[in-house]
Chain A
Amino acid sequence: MSDVNVAKGGITLAVIAAICTALVALTFALTRDRIVANEKAWLERNLLPALSGLSFDSGITESKLTVPAPHDLPGTDDAIIYRVYAADAPVAALFVVSARDGYSGPIRLLVGIDVNGAVTGVQVLEHRETPGLGDRVEAGKSDWVRQFDGRSLINPTPDGWAIKRDGGEFDQLTGASVTPRAIVNAVRQTLLYFAANEASVFAASEPAAQTERNAE
């Protein structure tokens, strides 16, 4: 390739790169608002079941607290806590954590805990467990996750916080015990964290501190 050709090729590439970038930028600008709205709606739809039976008057995603890794919650990435209040008194905290010991990649979990330390609901947000086996932990596929409702660190006692195969009180799933075991452990670890840090979980609620007031 002669020098002239190299220059010409470079210019062609640059022009096409600029056009393509403009195309992506335009699409991004056109879709941005819808995408943000979709993600907020998706999040609220997933958080809501963990709040059934509670009365609260604050927005669910308004009071978000990010706990940077490393922390004592399950998972090695940042954990997120959404706090819910009624007349400025804490009602419940929703933890978004990751169980690392699933069958196939991290399991993103939502664990709701009320001020008394009882589980208000557990939801599996994201996972890559085997279809037909481990994926029955999804709320839409079976009632498995409902067995956590109302549980706490004293119900069952610490040695009961395991699946039945391991001598605990929680059902496993037919053909899948790795996934349920990972989730039971993650829920228990979240409860332990909440018991040890309850004050700080709700304390950081004042507008200052590390709170992000719906920044995203």
Chain B
Amino acid sequence: MGIPFFERLKTGLWDENPGLVQLLGLCPLLAVTTTFVNGLGLGIATLTVLMASNALVSATRRWIQPQIRIPIYVLIIASLVTCIELVFKAWFPALDRSLGIFIPLIVTNCAIVARAEIFASRNPLGPSIVDGFVMGSGFALLLMVLGAFRELLGQGSLFAGLDMVLGGTALRGLVIADGGWLLAILPPGAFFSLALAIAAKNMLDRRRAKARREPVSTTELTR
């Protein structure tokens, strides 16, 4: 404990963002971010699974022998993902149809097993849930940013199909242009967008580090 919540949130969203910095879970990240709403849906699903799996792993950590920990993590994660899939099918059927196989594939998102191994298996329940929340939010945020970026470039729209989450009639979102640059929606567009996001983050980090170094060089303690 000891670390304030906002510090932790910043770690998950920025400093150690699972997608941007640790490059975990790239398969779903690249595959579903064709629209904002897909990114939002998979982001929420991953966030929920991550929080719940961290909670369960942390709660049972006393009884888990190190030799069998991985099968147990897999068991816990697979069950949670199955539950989430059923919940999506029941309450967000359109989103479930749109995300298709990528909901069950959350099982293979190594960001989740990584947090179980690195954090939840060594920390009490509360901090583990917080960790699941901040890391999941970081992942979800990146999914949404990439989704919005690719949707805007590739289809000329933004937030189309939000009815899949909110319910109600079909929403077309903000239509800025009719059609767009197809490459952005195709798989290469996913890699380009992720590369741009990582480059932008590194650039901002470097600029900030420089700004910090110049006035008071003595405060250069972290990293």
Q: Which residues of A contact B (CB under 8 A)?
A: 1, 5, 8-9, 12-13, 16-17, 20-21, 23-24, 27-28, 30-31, 34-35, 38-39, 42, 130-133, 140
Q: How many B residues face the partner with a CB closer than 8 A? A: 30
Tell yes or no: B219 within 8 A of A by CB. Answer: no
Residue of A nearest to B183 (CB): A132
CB distance from B105 to the nearest CB of A (A): 15
Contact A31 B154 (CB under 8 A): no
Contact A17 B67 (CB under 8 A): no
Contact B67 A5 (CB under 8 A): yes
Name 10 A/B residue pairs within 8 A (Cβ), A-sorted: A5-B65, A16-B72, A20-B76, A24-B82, A31-B86, A35-B89, A35-B90, A38-B90, A131-B185, A132-B154
Contacts of A140 in B (CB 8 A): 170
Contact B154 A20 (CB under 8 A): no
Dominant SS among interface residues on chain B: helix
Map CB proximity to A onto B53-82 as digits: 1 under 8 Å, 0 otherwise: 000000010011101100110011011101
Dominant SS among interface residues on chain A: helix
CB distance from A179 to the nearest CB of B (A): 15
Tell yes or no: B182 within 8 A of A by CB. Answer: yes
Q: A34-B90, A132-B179 are in contact. Are A13 and B34 (CB under 8 A)?
A: no
Q: A38-B90, A131-B186 are in contact. Are A12 and B83 (CB under 8 A)?
A: no
Contact B68 A42 (CB under 8 A): no
